[in-house]
Structure 1
Amino acid sequence: MKKIVFAFALMFFFSYIHAQIKDPVSWKYEAVKKSGDTYELVITATVEKPWHIYSQNTGAGGPVPTNFTFKKNPLVDFSGKTQEVGKLQKTYDNNFKTNVLYYSGQVVFKQLVKVKGNVKTNVSGVVEYMVCDDQQCLPPTKKSFEIKL
């Protein structure tokens, strides 16, 4: 009887592991103070090899571009668009039948914000992104984040 219970437990364990969705991207979030009321949000994506993550500027008809949606905070004003810093690669993708822009290894996203008044607050939001390798793509993923200012 113990062997049967052990066998079922082992099957359940392996099916649970197999069912886990792979996410080859780890995220780091921080705020760097630039002046009295201005901060730079620094969001770093580290992508495991052989995966790559798509630029915010990947055009229509291709993979899901990386996108940041910041929740409204009446104490914070956003300055400009979110910038990308990394080794941008461009290639024609036969699967999508279009040119794609992507990063391998690491990419840093930067966003300037100004805080209204001398208060402590935070910026929160959601990042949506998609990763592929040379053989497969994973479904788009959304992750919530919060950055203290």
Structure 2
Amino acid sequence: MNLLRTVATFLSVLTISVTGYCQDVVKWNFTAKKIADKTYEIHLAAKLEEGWHIYSQSSPEGGPLPTKIVFSKNPLIMLQGKIREEGKMEIYHEDVFDVDVYSYNNKVDFVQLVKLKANAKTSINGSVEFMACSNGKCLTPEKVTFSLKL
């Protein structure tokens, strides 16, 4: 299954490369919202162009590249719980991978609750790796980084 996933991803990337189709179809907005003393919501919001989608963080084995969010280690910050996905999730069967996949069209907001261990100014840093697809064609997976002051 991993070989099938690798081959399918390679062919998708090759198709995009051959056609010269490269554009910024996903716009990211990163914000930190204070909700209580030493407690913040970190919002990683994606807005997608019409007809494009990105995948959930939960992708079945052998499926397409899931969205992967990584927060850099910071001794002043504790992550609270799992990252929530807020948006209209689409679930459908993808013949290329022969699995049901979970994706978001138009927009999705990934939300992580964090708590500061002390009353100190600090930043939370990290990255989002994702793959945008439309009509069976996928762009090369992309990684964007963020840094937010708390």
TM tier, smaller: 0.7 to 0.9
Write the distance in 2 (CA, Å) between the matches of 1:24 and 1:117.
Answer: 39
Q: Name stretches of at least 5 consecutive residues in structure 2 with no aligned partner.
A: 1-18
Q: Give the Cα separation in 2 of the matches to 1:106 and 1:133.
A: 14
Q: 1:47-106 CA deviation, whole Å, 9 max, x = no partner?
A: 111110100112121111011111000110000111100000100011222110000000
Q: Is the 8 A contact 1:82 1:111 kept in 2?
A: yes
Do structure 1's residue 55 and structure 2's residue 22 form an aligned pair?
no
Letter in 2 for 1:143: V
2:85 matches 1:75: no
CA–CA separation in structure 2 for the residues paired with 1:58 and 1:49: 22
Kindly report structure 1 stretches of 4+ aligned residues shifted beyond 4 Å: none
> What residue identity is the alignment partner of 2:103?
Y
Residues of 2 paired with 1:86 and 1:20: CA distance?
A: 27
3-state DSSP of counterpart to 2:74: coil
Q: TM-score, normalised by structure 1?
A: 0.84
1:21 is displaced (CA, Å) by 3.3
Please give the secondary structure, in 2, of the residue aligned with 1:65: coil
Q: Which moved more, 1:107-116 or 1:133-142?
A: 133-142
Q: Residues 33, 20 of structure 1: CA spacing in aligned structure 2 closer, same or farther, 3 A cutoff? A: same
- Is residue 126 of structure 2 the alignment partner of residue 136 of structure 1? no
CA distance in 2, matches of 1:20, 1:52: 16
Percent of aligned positions with the same letter in both sequences?
42
The 2-side partners of 1:20 and 1:96 are apart by 23
1:141 partner amino acid? E
Count of residues paired in the alignment? 132
Tell me the equivalent position of 2:22: 21
| Distance of 2:144 and 2:100 partners within structure 1 | 26
1:92 corresponds to? 93
Partner of 1:145: 146
Matched, 1:45 2:46: yes
Mapped partners of 1:45, 1:55: distance in 2: 12
- Report the equivalent of 2:65: 64
C-alpha deviation, 1:22, in angstroms:
2.1
Distance 1:62 1:73 in 2: 32
Aligned-residue CA RMSD in angstroms?
Answer: 1.4
Determine helix, strand or coil for the equivalent of 2:137.
coil
- 1:42 and 1:144 map into 2 onto residues whose CA distance is 13
- 2:123 is aligned to 122
